[in-house]
Chains A and B, each alone.
Chain A
Amino acid sequence: MNLKISALEFAQQVQNGNISAEDFVAESIQRIQKIDGDLHAFLSVNDDAIEQARTIDKKIKSGDKVGACFGMPISIKDNMCIKNSKTTCASKMLENFIAPYDATVITKLKQQDAIFIGKVNMDEFAMGLSTEFSAYGPSKNPWNTDYVPGGSSGGSAVSVSAFECVASLGSDTGGSVRNPASFCSVVGYKPTYGLISRYGLISYANSIEQIGPLTRTVKDTAFLLNIIAGLDHNDNTTIDNHNEDYLSGIDSGIEGKKIGIISEMIGEGIDPTVLSATKDAISKLEGLGAICEEVSLDMVKYSVAAYYTITATEAGSNLARYDNLRYGYEFPVEGYEFNSYISKARQKFGPEVTRRMIIGGFVPSAGHAGKYFLKAMKVKSKLTKEINEAFKKFDLLIAPTVPILPFKIGEKIDDPVSLFLVDINTVTANLTGKPAISIPFTTSNGLPIGIQLFANSNQDKLLLQAAHALEQTVKLPEVPI
């Protein structure tokens, strides 16, 4: 059984009867059992997955209508609710939380006969970019297990990269899908804000976060987007995509398209090998008929500070619900005064979550809001104006997904500001609501480098076409695991 096929190949092969969903899912679980002790992508595995696959095989044999996923094993970041399953957010605070309902993305995938093979690791409450802040221990990069896989959707990227499943859903607040996709050499997609419902996604920073697929190919991302995108009455920030078909015309090419190279994302602090890879990608796009030239987005310099100020503020509010009275772990209330009980219970938060909650209380507080939060919101507004202006001249923008190569586990964990700056190329898409994608492009000393393309809001289809065109120019080595 070849587990190294794309999601679309899987669906076609099961539909044609070349493979059974049950065999594929069973072998995927065997692979998880064999290699995940080293990689730690999964926090839990679905014990019913094989039985669910068997049911889908029976439906196919009896000629019943079967959904487009045909029993496809998909992993889900552990901050999305699957009814009657543990949803921990990689936090000890929620270690026994059983979700009472399905997230909208889960409902939509269930309707198309996807199988959720397991819940995958992440930085606690999605706060981090290396998966080192998981309360259950870090995930490891399958390209070199001494290195981080990126984050916060690190488990998602590892599970797809290491062929433990065919696709995954992550969430992207400041690059949390694209960063691990780049570090693990898979495709990672952050859609236009509002394209995918966040209902059932445990909130971190609602105004900018989005669910996004991590897949082996751009076509697989388009396939999943066809299923999970669109209006949802449970999330009033969703937008009507008029049932856009993101797969049709995906091979339209990029001849004549104008691509802006974001100067601030290829300048100071970029690793020379990442810069060289970016130049190669630009040459390839020009070879395909695109016209590339530099464009400046001045506010990018301030984007990381604005991003962390805004997200910490929203996190401080969102995480206030974790008082251990409504959700939480076993910890008796007897003998405690209200405030001291909550303070004591919150000691289960990990260090990064605790720090961001403190910042989230500080930056919007009376006396400090003008210096921090309001200024961050103004940077967000100005950055949006700048990128909108750029899209008057360009169809797409390009930059490396991450300006540095994957780093070693533990290398940056004690230097929060150094970790912040890893996000410099990804937060712009979140702050401005634009769609962006990381495409695996090359490797350097065995470590992956991803290239990022951006499009204007609601130009997701164009973005996927361009990403597919670039992807077709690339021949990558196989992951060494």
Chain B
Amino acid sequence: MVTEKEIEHVSKLMKIDVNDHAEYVDKVHAMIDYFDILDSAGVESEEISMSEISLSSLREDEHITFDEKLIEKLNHYKGTYVRAPKMSS
């Protein structure tokens, strides 16, 4: 059983404000509680299957020129630099 404190902690790590407790913590709680059904699936010994793509099937890792300056599309592009929030308060 997950606790509200755990949900609030993960929200902070995910950089999400959960100021509306009923909308976020309560509903997330109900959703995660539903996942407890997985405990009765009896899959403990099951191997996880993965699909693999061989390196030879991947396209060449080469530079492809884009016909526009994508940096200019950034929200906070200032001509010669991109403005970002300060890293510490």
Q: What is A's interface to B at a CB cutoff of 8 Å?
A: 98, 100-101, 233-234, 236-237, 299, 301-302, 305-306, 308-309, 316, 323-331, 333-334, 336-344, 346-347, 349, 351, 354-355, 357-363, 365, 368, 371-372, 374-382, 384, 416-417, 420
Cβ contact within 8 Å between A237 and B53: yes
Q: Using a Cβ–Cβ cut-off of 8 Å, how many residues does chain B contribute to the interface with A?
A: 51
Find the A residue at minimum CB distance from B12. A343
Cβ contact within 8 Å between A358 and B85: no
In the assembled complex, 20 residue pairs joining A and B whose CB atoms fall closer than 8 Å, in A order, are A100-B66, A234-B59, A236-B59, A305-B37, A306-B38, A330-B75, A333-B84, A333-B85, A346-B17, A349-B16, A358-B7, A359-B28, A362-B7, A371-B38, A372-B32, A372-B35, A382-B46, A417-B34, A420-B31, A420-B34
Cβ contact within 8 Å between B16 and A374: no
Bound-state CA distance A450–B40 (Å) is 31
Bound-state CA distance A381–B44 (Å) is 12
Bound-state CA distance A476–B75 (Å) is 50
Contact with A along B9-42 (1 / 0, CB 8 A): 0110111111010011001101110110111110
Bound-state CA distance A237–B32 (Å) is 30
Cβ contact within 8 Å between B16 and A357: yes
Cβ contact within 8 Å between B24 and A351: yes
Find the A residue at minimum CB distance from B2. A362
Bound-state CA distance A98–B74 (Å) is 11
Tell whether B57 is near chain A: CB-to-CB under 8 Å. yes
Q: Which of B48, B70, B74 has the most CB of A within 10 A?
A: B48
Bound-state CA distance A323–B15 (Å) is 9
Find the A residue at minimum CB distance from B23. A351
Q: Which of B32, B37, B84 has the most CB of A within 10 A?
A: B32
In the complex, which residues of chain B have a beta carbon less than 8 angstroms from the beta carbon of A384? 49
In the complex, which residues of chain A have a beta carbon less than 8 angstroms from the beta carbon of B85? 333, 336-338, 340-342
Smallest CB–CB gap between A333 and chain B, Å? 5
Bound-state CA distance A76–B3 (Å) is 41
Cβ contact within 8 Å between A371 and B84: no
Q: Which of B11, B34, B43, B85 has the most CB of A within 10 A?
A: B85
In the complex, which residues of chain B have a beta carbon less than 8 angstroms from the beta carbon of A374? 48
**CB within 8 A of A376: which of B13, B16, B38?**
B38
Tell whether B5 is near chain A: CB-to-CB under 8 Å. no
Cβ contact within 8 Å between B46 and A381: yes
Cβ contact within 8 Å between A305 and B86: no
In the complex, which residues of chain A have a beta carbon less than 8 angstroms from the beta carbon of B46? 378-379, 381-382
Bound-state CA distance A355–B13 (Å) is 14
* Known interface pairs A299-B41, A359-B28; A337-B53 also in contact (CB < 8 Å): no
* Known interface pairs A306-B38, A376-B38; A344-B74 also in contact (CB < 8 Å): no
* Known interface pairs A100-B73, A305-B38; A360-B83 also in contact (CB < 8 Å): no
Bound-state CA distance A339–B24 (Å) is 20
**Residues of chain B in range 44-89 having any CB-CB distance to chain A below 8 Å:** 44, 46-49, 53, 57-59, 66, 68, 70, 73-76, 82-89
Cβ contact within 8 Å between B53 and A362: no
Find the B residue at minimum CB distance from A347. B17
In the complex, which residues of chain A have a beta carbon less than 8 angstroms from the beta carbon of B27? 351, 355, 416
**CB within 8 A of B14: which of A299, A358, A368, A420?**
A358
Cβ contact within 8 Å between B73 and A337: no
Smallest CB–CB gap between A299 and chain B, Å? 7
Bound-state CA distance A381–B42 (Å) is 12
* Known interface pairs A302-B41, A362-B2; A377-B48 also in contact (CB < 8 Å): yes
In the complex, which residues of chain B have a beta carbon less than 8 angstroms from the beta carbon of A338? 84-88
Bound-state CA distance A301–B70 (Å) is 46
Cβ contact within 8 Å between A375 and B43: yes
Find the B residue at minimum CB distance from A421. B34
Cβ contact within 8 Å between B58 and A309: no
**CB within 8 A of B13: which of A306, A308, A361, A363?**
A361
Closest 10 CB pairs between A and B? A378-B43, A341-B85, A378-B46, A361-B14, A337-B89, A336-B85, A302-B41, A375-B38, A361-B10, A381-B49
* Known interface pairs A325-B74, A379-B41; A305-B16 also in contact (CB < 8 Å): no
In the complex, which residues of chain B have a beta carbon less than 8 angstroms from the beta carbon of A341? 85
Bound-state CA distance A382–B73 (Å) is 45
Bound-state CA distance A328–B73 (Å) is 10
Cβ contact within 8 Å between B18 and A358: yes
Find the B residue at minimum CB distance from A338. B85
In the complex, which residues of chain B have a beta carbon less than 8 angstroms from the beta carbon of A301? 37, 41
